[in-house]
Amino acid sequence: MSFSIAGKTAIVTGAANGIGLAIARHFADHGANVICADMDEAGLLKQWGENPEDEDDTPSNTRIFAGDLREKLTIANLLSATIDAFERVDILINASRQVMLSDPMDADNLAVQTLLDQNLMTSLRLSQLVAKRMIQQGMNLSEDEQDEPLGAIVNLSSIAASRTQPGLLAYSVASAAVDQMTRSLAVALAPSRIRVNAVSFGSLMSASLRDTIRGDKSTREEIIDGTPLGRIASATEVAEAAQFLCSGSSSFMTGHILTIDGGRSLLDVVGNPAH
């Protein structure tokens, strides 16, 4: 089995912080060329080098791209920047996502629209554009390479997609939509030898959760009590799952929602913490 992604070119969105940052670093450390995309330009510069034009300051296999990926033109510019830097794209990690609490009885429910735009539509538009580029790259393959895979797309989702908590209505709806988008794109792109999967996770030791735990010790106990393996996942564990789904070891997997939650989704959902 090979988990190698060395030499592949990956676009990772949400790469200025959190799980997107962890995945981008993990992929770069394992030999991939990585375009680190985020709307937070200051965060990108902080994490990836204060002067990205200086080769001594930024690793040679990474580049940053700042822009609002909810805009179609920005998505097109991101792909162009990727091709300019590394000449191709082999992997897309849709890690740009937002979590919002919402009132399920809010008639306008702007949170639902906000999260559908951010967590679903951005990933869908970018996936469509990148897939077209992958297919175009496949036209240049030799006859001996015609059966080679053309690319891998991985979406980030949440176990909230199948769990019922009123305050997470918007996030749950958006997560369920991401899961179904993953399955639908997997079927649509399978004839083009592009695989589409997702990583769905529960509690993750992010900077925001770490701050929450510092301020409220009971939160950590609630999460652990609701997780059979008795701990909170690290961002590296999700990054490793994403690497697996982009590697040759998952070559016959598509449309799969890989759950990384320590067994939490196996328990009765009533009363479990919303973290």
For residue 92, what pLDDT is reported? Answer: 98
User: What pTM did the predictor assign?
Assistant: 0.92
186 with 255: CB under 8 angstroms?
A: yes
257 with 162: CB under 8 angstroms?
A: no
Average pLDDT over residues 106-121: 88
Task: Name the nearest CA neighbour of 104 among 174, 165, 160.
Answer: 165
Q: Alpha-carbon distance 183 to 177, whole Å?
A: 10
Sheet-wide strand order for 257-260: 62-66, 33-38, 9-13, 91-94, 151-158, 194-201, 257-260
For residue 50, what pLDDT is reported? Answer: 56
pLDDT tens for 67-105 read 999 999 999 999 999 999 999 999 999 999 888 887 777
- Residue for token digits 């040679």? 60
**Residue 52: pLDDT over 50:** no
Residues above pLDDT 70, as percent of the chain: 91
Instruction: Looking at the structure, give the CATH architecture of the domain made up of residues 9-266.
Output: 3-Layer(aba) Sandwich (3.40)
Average pLDDT over residues 229-243: 95
- What residue segments make up the domains of the chain, in order of their start? 9-266
For residue 1, what pLDDT is reported? Answer: 59
- Residue for token digits 């564990």? 237
Most confidently predicted of 141-145, 194-198, 225-229:
194-198
